Amino acid sequence: MTSVARVEAARASVAARLGDPVEIGLILGSGLGELAEAVEDAVAVPFGEIAGMPVSTAPGHAGRLVVGRLHGRRVALAQGRLHLYEGWTAGEIALPVYLLRALGARRLIVTNAAGALNADFAPGEVMLIEDHLNLTGANPLTGRNDAGLGPRFPDMSRAYDTGLRAAVWATGLVERRGIYAGIAGPSLETSAERRWLRSTGADAVGMSTVIEVIAAVHAGLAVLGLSAITNAATGGPDQAPDTIEEVLAQAAAAGRRIEALLARLLPEL
């Protein structure tokens, strides 16, 4: 897993460029990077210029850290993320989370693009993540625990902060809420896998987020999760083939709804 020394090296390599501590960290998923354009007085640092930080290779991920003000709050955004399917380890994927914490964040908002296992969900909608299933086969806390980052056995029973979830739902700007299933990818699920995932209680499926949320809980961050629903993934007889182009287009549509939500939510946090 990640160590305090590695996190401190990453922080030290950018701290002088970023200025004051941040309040809120955000991780932007596939097709959701446009939110970074709304950050005022922004300072952007490519991942490749942060000590020890892997570089994102996924489509729709700029792979940079953006720090500034968003709707009146001091924020740090990871514009793009790292994935298991790129070949990164769970510990490497978790590094941006620990870096956001080291830069001062006490809350973390994670977003992702997800397929709808729940037939009631439609592309372009936003799902508030209430809980998740980690089906990746990986965990960022595997290995020797560094107590400077967090406890050996963090409690995940309330991984997504109940207060933040209630605040989001009260806005009326989110249509859906449910359980997110995280898989390793990069192949999309078979129809049989999608039907099985739905039978477990999952409402949406994607290839990210769960590793980062485990690290965030380990680090003591309050977490809010939002899924941009990009495609129907019910695994039924009318299941249509998916394309990355359609996924990114629907993620961008949902992203505009997420931006409106944050404009309402952030000033109240």
Residues in CB range of 49: below 8 A, 6 or more apart: 13, 14
Report d(CA 27, CA 48) in Å as an integer. 17
* More confident position, 63 or 25: 25
Residue 60, pLDDT score? 62
Report d(CA 183, CA 157) in Å as an integer. 19
Report the share of the chain in percent with pLDDT over 90.
Answer: 78
Token pair, residue 31, equals: 């097709």
Single out the residue of 49, 57, 52, 53 nearest to residue 83, CA to CA: 57
99 pLDDT exceeds 70? yes
Beta strand pairing status for 126-134 and 222-232?
A: antiparallel
**pLDDT tens column, 228-237:** 999 999 999 8
Does the domain at 4-268 match CATH 3.40.50.1580? Answer given as yes
139 pLDDT exceeds 70? yes
Which pTM value belongs to this model?
0.95
Token pair, residue 219, equals: 């680090």
Residue 126 in 3-state DSSP?
strand
Q: 186: cis peptide before it, omega within 30°?
A: yes
Neighbours of 65 (CB within 10 A): 28
CB 211 within 8 A of CB 84: yes
